[in-house]
């Protein structure tokens, strides 16, 4: 390589230094082509990085074999990692941060694992045991610890948080047949144990409207682990969901076709003395919202029997979207509050939209524009416009879907559909409402959750669901005993 360019460049530097020393302006005819000033580019800041999102799938390969936890990346619809967990998992949930997963297994153990693009790994999967007589049916993991509903002993078991296996802390006695725990779980707030007061997986699963006993919600104090209130519910309560502001809790009563509204601030039914607000409008509170003609709801498309089994709270529009399993409809309910935290003048306004047969769950996009159903018997997903209250499109999916969840962390969102009698996870793109891809999972899909529920980091404290006790079975037509209900293969 010639040294001439380098020497020429050094000469130019000396000339510049000399010119600066004497204050003389020079014209460098022979240096312009070789001198290159150093420029440091300034990169534009651009939009903030989108949060990482995963879909976490729990599947069962056989009744006596280890289940599988699978992490699917949002961006590429690819399987990031798989790992064996407890045998034949029955129910699954994520914690409120979307960082840890928990399962109930057929041998009575609990599994917990971390969620990331490199986790779970076998060495980081931990197992916990409960008392030998325990029958776990519900898991709930708020910001601290794990709350477990125990059928046989009519208690809620509290497991202390740990980097390894969850350790048993204490048991809180609650009403008969606790099937779920739900709430905000933050310090100073309550979590609620949902009890049916009837034997599990019989009446509420076969003929919920014939049940005579009402359920009960027991308010559990996070700091003292005591019951602070006992709140009456409808017949066969099967699921609860908390508003993101922590002010209202909504419990679905499949046997009564109603939604019980609990004022979490007052720790009581949503009742108050009627008064007028700042606009002179009368304000009333709603302890119970009807969903069928049998429960007293009127209007278009209202079914004779609704059978609510699952719901999501839509923070953007302050609405509740409910899947009515027995009526083949979804209900969109206004649950907005005024500036004082009271029920708004439109609270309770309900629109009923017919969808497929036996919608087992429903999810809504973060902006509240559309909802997607998991029509278990039809094997379809109905896409519902939540502004016009009409069905825009129907998509066929594999198997009989039981769970549908959504997430968004880019220009468009995705919807994940899981069928317990299928090994395929169906992924929908919401910008075009089409099937984006189908991912083959090892084993039959028990459940799916997202770490980015509705575009918000964490699942807004979503509790697990186990088939039976009023919740849809893994396969249509298998209602009855828990063993029959769980016959997914």
Q: Is the pLDDT of residue 458 over 60?
A: no
Query: b/e map of 99-120 (b: 16 or more CB within 10 Å)?
Result: ebbbbbbeebbbbbbbbeeebb
With contact defined as beta carbons under 8 Å apart, do 283 and 270 qualify?
no
Average pLDDT for 222-239: 93
Among left, alpha and beta (phi > 0; psi -120 to 50; other), residue 7 is alpha
Q: Is the pLDDT of residue 23 over 50?
A: no
With contact defined as beta carbons under 8 Å apart, do 93 and 465 qualify?
no
From 35-49, 166-180, 380-394, the region with the lowest mean pLDDT: 35-49
User: What pLDDT score does 455 carry?
Assistant: 46
User: What pLDDT score does 387 carry?
Assistant: 96
User: What pLDDT score does 328 carry?
Assistant: 97
User: What pLDDT score does 28 carry?
Assistant: 44
Average pLDDT for 85-92: 91
Give SS3 for 207.
Answer: coil
From 111-115, 263-267, 416-420, 452-456, the region with the lowest mean pLDDT: 452-456
Q: Is the pLDDT of residue 408 over 70?
A: yes
Q: By percentage, how much of the chain surpasses pLDDT 70?
A: 81
Average pLDDT for 122-150: 83
Average pLDDT for 169-182: 93
Average pLDDT for 359-366: 95
Per the model's pLDDT, the better-predicted residue between 64 and 232 turns out to be 232
Cα–Cα distance measured from residue 241 to residue 461, given in angstroms and rounded to the nearest whole number: 8
Q: Is the pLDDT of residue 249 over 70?
A: yes
Average pLDDT for 155-182: 82
Three-state secondary structure of 20-57: HHHCCCCCCCCCCCCCCCCCCCCCCCCCCCCCCCEEEE
Cα–Cα distance measured from residue 139 to residue 281, given in angstroms and rounded to the nearest whole number: 42
Give SS3 for 97.
Answer: coil
Q: Is the pLDDT of residue 372 over 60?
A: yes
With contact defined as beta carbons under 8 Å apart, do 166 and 126 qualify?
yes
pLDDT bucket at 486, cuts 50 / 70 / 90 = confident
pLDDT tens digits, one per residue of 297-339: 999 999 999 999 999 999 999 999 999 999 999 999 999 998 8
Beta-carbon-side half-sphere exposure of residue 426 (alpha carbons within 13 Å): 26
Cα 469 → chain centroid: 20
Average pLDDT for 183-206: 84
Give the full edge-to-edge strand order of the sheet including 136-140: 136-140, 146-150, 155-160, 167-173
Q: Is the pLDDT of residue 27 over 60?
A: no
Average pLDDT for 375-390: 97
User: What pLDDT score does 6 carry?
Assistant: 44
Q: Is the pLDDT of residue 214 over 90?
A: yes
User: What pLDDT score does 484 carry?
Assistant: 81
Cα 39 → chain centroid: 49
Average pLDDT for 167-194: 85
pLDDT tens digits, one per residue of 99-128: 889 999 988 889 989 888 777 777 778 888
User: What pLDDT score does 352 carry?
Assistant: 97
Q: By percentage, how much of the chain surpasses pLDDT 90?
A: 54
Distance in Å from the first CA to the final CA of the chain = 73
Q: Average pLDDT of the chain?
A: 84
Nearest CA among 51, 52, 55, 53 for reference residue 439: 55
User: What pLDDT score does 5 carry?
Assistant: 45
DSSP state string for 416-453: EEE-TT-SEEEEEETTTTEEEEEEE-SSEEEEEEETBB
Q: Which domains can be identified in the chain, with CATH numbers?
A: 52-485 (2.130.10.10)
Nearest CA among 164, 92, 83, 171 for reference residue 127: 164
């Amino acid at each position: 390589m010639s040294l001439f360019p380098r020497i020429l460049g050094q000469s130019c530097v000396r000339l510049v230094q000399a010119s600066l020393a004497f204050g003389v302006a020079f014209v460098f005819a022979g240096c312009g082509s070789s001198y290159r000033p150093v420029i440091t580019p300034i990169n534009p800041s651009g939009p903030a990085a989108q949060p990482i999102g995963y879909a976490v799938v729990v599947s069962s390969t056989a009744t006596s074999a280890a289940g599988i936890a699978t992490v699917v990346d949002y961006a590429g619809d690819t399987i990031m990692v798989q790992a064996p967990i407890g045998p034949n998992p029955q129910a699954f949930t994520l914690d409120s941060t979307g960082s840890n997963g928990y399962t109930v297994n057929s041998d009575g153990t609990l599994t917990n694992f971390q969620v990331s693009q490199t986790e779970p790994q076998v060495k980081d999967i931990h197992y916990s045991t409960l008392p030998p007589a325990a029958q776990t049916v519900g898991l709930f993991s708020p910001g601290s610890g794990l709350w477990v509903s125990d059928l046989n002993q009519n208690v809620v078991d509290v497991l202390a948080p740990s980097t390894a296996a969850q350790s048993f802390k204490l048991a809180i006695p609650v009403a008969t047949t606790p099937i779920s725990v739900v709430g905000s779980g933050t310090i100073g707030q309550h979590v609620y144990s949902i009890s049916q007061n009837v034997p599990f997986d019989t009446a509420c699963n076969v003929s919920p409207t014939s049940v005579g006993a009402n359920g009960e919600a027991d308010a559990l104090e996070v700091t003292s682990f005591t019951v602070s209130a006992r709140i009456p519910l409808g017949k066969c309560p099967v699921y609860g969901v908390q508003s993101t502001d922590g002010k209202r809790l909504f419990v679905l009563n499949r046997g009564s076709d109603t939604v019980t509204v609990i004022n979490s601030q007052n720790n009581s039914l949503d009742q108050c003395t009627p008064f007028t607000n700042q606009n002179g409008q009368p304000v009333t509170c709603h302890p119970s919202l009807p969903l069928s003609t049998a429960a007293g709801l009127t209007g278009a498309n209202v079914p004779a029997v609704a059978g609510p089994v699952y719901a999501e709270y839509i923070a953007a529009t302050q609405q509740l979207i409910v899947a009515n399993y027995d009526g083949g409809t979804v209900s969109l309910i206004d649950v907005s509050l005024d500036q004082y935290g009271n029920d708004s003048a439109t609270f309770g306004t309900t629109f009923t939209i017919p969808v497929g047969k036996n919608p087992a769950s429903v999810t809504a996009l973060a902006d509240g524009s559309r909802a997607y159903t998991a029509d278990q018997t039809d094997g379809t997903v109905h896409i519902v416009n939540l502004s016009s209250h009409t069905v825009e499109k129907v998509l066929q999916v594999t198997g009989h879907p039981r769970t549908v969840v959504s997430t968004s962390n880019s220009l468009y969102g995705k919807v994940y559909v899981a069928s317990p009698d299928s090994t395929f996870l169906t992924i929908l793109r919401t910008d075009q409402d089409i099937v984006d891809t189908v991912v083959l999972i090892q084993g039959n899909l028990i459940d799916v959750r997202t770490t980015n529920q509705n575009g918000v980091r964490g699942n807004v404290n979503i509790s697990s669901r186990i088939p039976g006790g009023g919740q849809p079975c893994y396969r249509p037509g298998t209602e009855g005993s828990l063993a029959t209900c769980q016959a997914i293969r």
